[in-house]
Amino acid sequence: MLELRNLSKSFGDFQAVKSVSLSVPDGAFLTLLGPSGCGKTTLLRMLAGLELASQGQIVFDGQLVSDGDKSWSVDPAKRNSGLVFQSYALWPHMSVRGNVEWPLKVARVDKSVRDQRVAEVLALLNIAELADRYPNEISGGQQQRVAIARTIAPKPKVLLFDEPLSNLDAKLRVEMRTELMRLHRATGATTVYVTHDQIEAMTMASHVAVMKDGRVEQFGQPDDLIRVPETAFVATFVGTPPNNLVPVSPGPDGPVVRGRPIGLRPPVEGPCFAMYRPEALRLDDQNADRTLTMELVEASRIAGRTMVTMVDGDMRLTAIVDQPPTAEIGDSVRVVLPERPTCWFDDMGRRVGTDRTGAG
């Protein structure tokens, strides 16, 4: 349904999106996930037709809608897509009904059909009772529902969302995530959703593209990104809590962590990173093998277990343990690393092969 071919976008000398290629099937829910400035909103604006690609092509449902190599693009109004802005962008002088009806009027849909469709989407978003109110008379969450209703009223094949929940409080964000998933199932539209919140991405999406510095670091289904992260960035950006990276350096008598040999045998000779799952780390009062002494900075109860965060200089590790530590915040604690890491990354953040004991 949606295909991107070597898509790039430059603003002068700055390349915001760099050679992105991916495709998703009809009805997919694709999340563009990444930190601020990674290029995800620029990519979404190219899909919407608000930015012309510098290179590459965009295909909707088998039809070419943008060709950056030829500086050609289909008008946004003719792409059969709808965009929900982060700021909602509702007409303040129009009622809720008027806002939702507006794109149907522009498309010259017959009034009787318009009235029926407006009633359908207002009911679908549970805002029928707000039809005669104006945007300044309703809450932020209700405004978001109106913006979504307006977008789906023309029945677009592709729905585009630009961080639609970022202005809502935490409780309402959770409720709206559920509503958006229900809406996606009800409409069947292929959806592209921009967010920096990995919880949103991993709970809502059928496909996730993790972006950094204009590139897609990894593309796949949510479970794939959790199970087999392809880069160090993905390993530490995805997951709740994210994975731990322990820097390993060459030493005079073998690899060391913070100057201490702890029996690790990485698959590369130079500096690299060992990755450990939070649930694989444990705390121990004894000076056991593969033990690091760190400062306790946080301990939080989560679903009957405790999430413990520790730091040593610029290294930050998080463990999920059954019992809270007896140490106080600011005290030293000893964290024990498993004998074998889950996987390894080289000093450029690329996943590398198994260690010399066969793990990885």
The 10s digit of each residue's pLDDT in 227-283 is 999 999 999 999 888 899 999 999 888 888 988 888 888 898 899 999 999 999 999
CA atoms within 13 Å, Cβ hemisphere of 17: 29
Extract the tokens encoding 157: 């094949």
- What is the predicted pLDDT for the residue at 358? 42
pLDDT value at 125 more than 60: yes
Question: Is 310:296 a contact under the CB 8 Å cutoff?
Answer: yes
The owner of tokens 């040999």 is 261
CA atoms within 13 Å, Cβ hemisphere of 337: 26
The more confident residue out of 285 and 56 is 56
When pLDDT is averaged across residues 92-114 and rounded to a whole number, the result is 92
Question: Where are the extended beta strands (E) located within 35-116?
Answer: 55-60, 63-67, 72-73, 81-84
- What is the predicted pLDDT for the residue at 359? 46
CA atoms within 13 Å, Cβ hemisphere of 326: 2
Tell me phi and psi for residue 252, to 5 degrees.
Answer: -60, -30
- What is the predicted pLDDT for the residue at 354? 66
The owner of tokens 């792409």 is 79
Extract the tokens encoding 309: 């965060």
Give the whole-number percent of the chain exceeding pLDDT 70. 97
On average, the pLDDT of the chain sits at 91
Residue 289: exposure state from Cβ atoms within 10 A (0-12, 13-18, ≥19): exposed
When pLDDT is averaged across residues 9-15 and rounded to a whole number, the result is 95
**Residue ranges of domains in the chain, CATH in brackets:** 2-227 (3.40.50.300), 241-352 (2.40.50.140)
Question: Is 335:310 a contact under the CB 8 Å cutoff?
Answer: yes
pLDDT value at 134 more than 90: yes
Long-range contacts of 180-187 (CB under 8 A, 24+ apart): 180/148, 180/204, 181/29, 183/124, 183/125, 183/148, 183/152, 184/29, 184/159, 186/124, 187/152, 187/155, 187/159
My answer on whether omega of the bond before 266 falls inside 30° of 0, hence cis, is no
Per-residue pLDDT tens digits for 201-216: 999 999 999 999 999 9
- Cα–Cα distance measured from residue 302 to residue 156, given in angstroms and rounded to the nearest whole number: 40
- What is the predicted pLDDT for the residue at 180? 87
- Cα–Cα distance measured from residue 126 to residue 149, given in angstroms and rounded to the nearest whole number: 10
When pLDDT is averaged across residues 137-149 and rounded to a whole number, the result is 89
Extract the tokens encoding 222: 């949510």
Please report, for residues 139, 243, 252, the alpha-carbon distance to residue 149 in angstroms, rounded to integers and kept in the order given: 15, 38, 65
CA dihedral 146, 148, 154, 155 (to 10 degrees): -140
Q: Strand pairing of 215-220 and 244-248?
A: unpaired
Give the whole-number percent of the chain exceeding pLDDT 90. 64
- Other Cβ atoms within 10 Å of 330 Cβ, number: 8
Confidence of residue 355 (pLDDT cuts 50, 70, 90): low
Per-residue pLDDT tens digits for 77-88: 888 888 888 788
Indicate the helix (H) or strand (E) that contains 47: helix 40-48
Question: Is 53:66 a contact under the CB 8 Å cutoff?
Answer: yes
Confidence of residue 187 (pLDDT cuts 50, 70, 90): confident
pLDDT value at 288 more than 70: no
Q: Strand pairing of 272-276 and 158-162?
A: unpaired
